[in-house]
Amino acid sequence: MSKWRTWRELPIGVVIPEPGNSVTYKTGNWRALRPVYDKSKCVRCLMCWVHCPEPAIRRLDDDWVEIDYDFCKGCGICANVCPVKAIPWYGRGGRA
Amino acid sequence: MRGKLTGMNGNTAVAYAVKQAEVDVIAAYPITPQTIIVERLSEYVNNGELNAAFIPVESEHTALSACVGASLAGARVFTATASQGLALMYEILWIASALRTTVVMALANRALSAPINIHCSHDDAYAARDTGWIELFAENVQEAYDLTLQAFRISEDKRVLLPTIVNLDGFILTHSLEGLYVLDDKDVKEFLPPKEPVLPIDPDNPITYGPLDLYDYYIEHKRQQAEAMKNSYGPIKEIHRKYSEFTGRKYAPLKTFGMEDAEVAMMILGSSAGTARYVARKLRKNGKKVGVISLTVYRPFPVDEIREALKGVKAVAVMDRSYSFGSPGAQLYMDVAAALYNEKERPLLFNVIYGLGGRDLKPEHVAWVFEKAEEVARTGEVREPQIWIGVRE
């Protein structure tokens, strides 16, 4: 959200007139723990990509991945399912 | 007096008004004492007198849910319920108002269980008081008819856009045959133009209704809704006035009797207001300065008018046909007390609980309450802040 609107500026009836605007509603700041991707360990199995409930794992060319910190809520599933420990927990909170 | 004199019970009169309002969608589940409304409307639809979708749902929860969707799609929508049925609708009541639907509902006031009872209390009307619906109270069959027509116009007014409940006392009004004037269909058309939907559901331009809304916007939405309810008061008064001019039958948020010089007063809702006035009229003939205030508009609560009407009054009996367990008074009493608290000069108040589960409020009860009120006025002291009347002690 670029600007926090007052109640006078909102459309009436609790509607969202622009469809699909949830992409502008960044939820990454819900995160307490931050997963970090270690490309040197990654075997490109895509287990993290499959399991991420958000999905905040982006699939890149040649099945490399990256973490979308705008939406990653830090649930840790990716770190947990990674068979080679390529996504360790690293540090606390905050934006990437 | 515009219209044709005929005889109907309250339910039939409401159903007739709904037919004349040419609603598009009716979703309702039958429940005593509202059943006749739903039966009659289903007959109107079945025999082609009313071109509407009648949705025979499996519960009141679904009835109101269907109404919300239909209203957002742009339809003129009606439902009716009572007591337990309203309780089952409860979560959707909040949604219907927050989404600014224009659903009109007849509420045939009936006591909440337990024990099971089918007769009149105002439990259900009061249960809806915080949900964001406009609430009107009919005193007789004529008002049930007239207020149903006005309810559509109020709800659909672009300055309002809130759902409306029309309360009518179960059995006392729903099942009593009374004389009333009904308008010609063409007159109803003139008073009630077709609904003009605001932001209706449109598959080609999809928008989201009622999404998740957390700490960052929920309170703004509620603040906006509070303002909408407050702002509805002017249009309601205006529509009352227009309907009065149109029909010759006077409507206003507050009905006052004898309040020009009253020293003690009674405040009351629904059909018992007639009994209260009947007694007050007799007492006034004997020189007693008594008055009666009854509310046609219960939500939004007519605070300013009540303050004005009670200026110079010494004692007021606030009558509640319900009970609010553990509260400092029953529901109407708390409203009136809150409305008056900051006034420099205000009357003493006491609360009278009457008529639960259909127990009659008799003229002698009313006379006794007026006596109590005179005693309070004379002594300047409220010895019994809450009195139950018509109960075996």
Question: Can you tell me the mean pLDDT for B331-345?
Answer: 98
CB B76 within 8 A of CB B50: no
Window 290-329 of B: residues touching A by CB (8 A cutoff) are none
Please state, rounded to an integer, the average pLDDT across all residues of chain B.
Answer: 97
Q: Are B104 and B164 in contact (CB under 8 A)?
A: yes
The whole-angstrom distance between B351's CA and the closest CA on chain A is: 37
What is d(CA B148, CA B15) in angstroms, rounded to the nearest whole number?
9
- Average of per-residue pLDDT across A19-24: 83
- Residues in contact with B238: Cβ distance below 8 Å, sequence separation at least 6, in sequence order: none
Taking contacts as CB-CB distances below 8 angstroms, the residues of chain B near A6 are 220
> Minimal Cα–Cα distance from A18 to chain B, Å?
6
Say whether A16 and B227 touch across the interface (CB within 8 A): no
Nearest CA of chain B to the CA of A30: how many Å? 13
The predicted complex's ipTM stands at 0.87
Q: What's the pLDDT band for A2 if we cut at 50, 70, 90?
A: low
Question: CA-CA distance, B166 to B270, in Å (whole number)?
Answer: 11
Cis before B203 (ω within 30): no
3-class secondary-structure state, position B332: helix
Q: What percent of chain B has pLDDT over 90?
A: 97
In B72-146, the DSSP E strands lie at: 77-81, 104-109, 134-137
What pLDDT score does A96 carry? Answer: 44
For testing contact with chain B, the best of A14, A22, A25, A27 (most B CBs within 10 A): A14
Q: What does pLDDT average to over chain A?
A: 88
Give the residue-averaged pLDDT of B298-317: 98
Chain A closest CA to B207's CA: distance in Å? 5
pLDDT band at B13 (very low <50, low <70, confident <90, very high): very high
Q: What is the pLDDT of residues B52-78, one digit of tens each?
A: 999 999 999 999 999 999 999 999 999
Query: Is A19's CB within 8 Å of B220's CB?
Result: no
| A-B C-beta contacts closer than 8 Å | 51
Burial A72-90 (b: 16+ CB within 10 A, else e): bbbbebbbeebeeebbeee
Check B211 against A5: CB less than 8 A apart. no
Three-state secondary-structure class, residue B343: coil
Residues 51-110 of chain B with CB under 8 A from chain A are 98-100
A7 closest CB neighbour out of B207, B211, B223: B223
Contacts with A, B 172-201, CB within 8 Å = 198-199
Between residues B381 and A17, which one has the greater pLDDT?
A: B381
- Cα separation of B138 and B70, whole Å? 26
Nearest one of B296, B319, B328, B322 to B370, comparing CA atoms: B319
pLDDT, tens digit, 9 for 90 and up, residues B88-135: 999 999 999 999 999 999 999 999 999 999 999 999 999 999 999 999
User: Which residue out of A12, A22, A25 would a mutagenesis test of the B interface target, given it has the greatest number of B Cβ atoms within 10 Å?
Assistant: A12
